[in-house]
Amino acid sequence: MSTILFLGAGNPLQDVFGFFQRGGLFMYPLLACSIVAVTTIILRAFALREKNVMPLVIESEIERLMPGGSADRLARIVEYDNSSLARIVRVALQHLRSPRSENVEAVQTRARHEMVILEKGLIVLEVIVGIAPLLGLIGAVSGLVHVFSHLGLSSGASDTRQIALGIAEALNATVFGLSIAVPTLVAFSYFSKKVEVMSVEMETLVVELIAKCYFGRSGQETSSARVTSPSRVPVST
């Protein structure tokens, strides 16, 4: 019985190859889009892991720091750390001798740069979301052109076969384009939201750090450098 089922089942690899072959010329750019999308999604998934962007040890040290206390231990922790939060904290600690307003400005500049790094690759996903359905649509139109171009040129089984191949080309290209665009859109939305959430969390931590480091400073420096907390770095969509 198992032998009969095995013989009756189709070869999955052969089915995929047949689906791709029947899709026509536009299946090749769609295949390239799918490879780029999968590669970008994998790379972004690793790059946007929370431990790579906001290490727990830095968060804990900022929360542990007492207002007006020494940030030497925090400086040692972030000195060789290559995470986004560590780079922003290093800028804040390097400008502690400056007025608070200048420190905030330097931190905001660095934060904008880090947002560009975190959003790297998302534009690729956004482009694929837009062009994959369009390439599928072009493939569908190409298949229909083949259908109508063969109508009336032959008769019998040959004519029917050409029509079937043209319809298969149209449908396969459309299905392939949509199957690329849908998961890519999901990944793009997920990563965009994740970057936005992490930017808010990093802003909160750095604002807290600056407030603690400048706590208790009196005199002319405090009065001249009193500013509001830095605004959240806008995340491009």
- What is this structure's pTM? 0.75
Q: 140 and 171 in contact (C-beta within 8 Å)? A: yes
Please tell me the distance from the alpha carbon of residue 211 to that of residue 100, in angstroms, as a whole number: 9
Q: What is the largest CA-CA distance in the chain?
A: 97
Residue 21 confidence (pLDDT):
65
Nearest in space to 71 (alpha carbons), one of 52, 58, 84: 58
Q: What is the DSSP string of 156-176?
A: THHHHHHHHHHHHHHHHHHHH
CB count within 10 Å of CB 200 equals: 13
Residue 123 confidence (pLDDT):
92
CB count within 10 Å of CB 40 equals: 21
pLDDT, one tens digit per residue, over 18-47 is 666 666 677 888 889 999 999 999 999 999
What's the gap between Cα 129 and its chain centre?
Answer: 12
Token representation of residue 80:
């060789």
Tens-digit pLDDT string for the chain (237 aa): 333 333 344 566 666 666 666 666 778 888 899 999 999 999 999 999 888 899 899 888 888 888 888 888 888 888 888 889 999 999 999 888 888 888 889 999 999 999 999 998 899 999 999 999 998 888 888 777 777 776 655 555 556 776 777 777 778 888 888 999 999 999 999 999 999 999 999 999 999 899 888 887 654 344 343 333 334 444 433
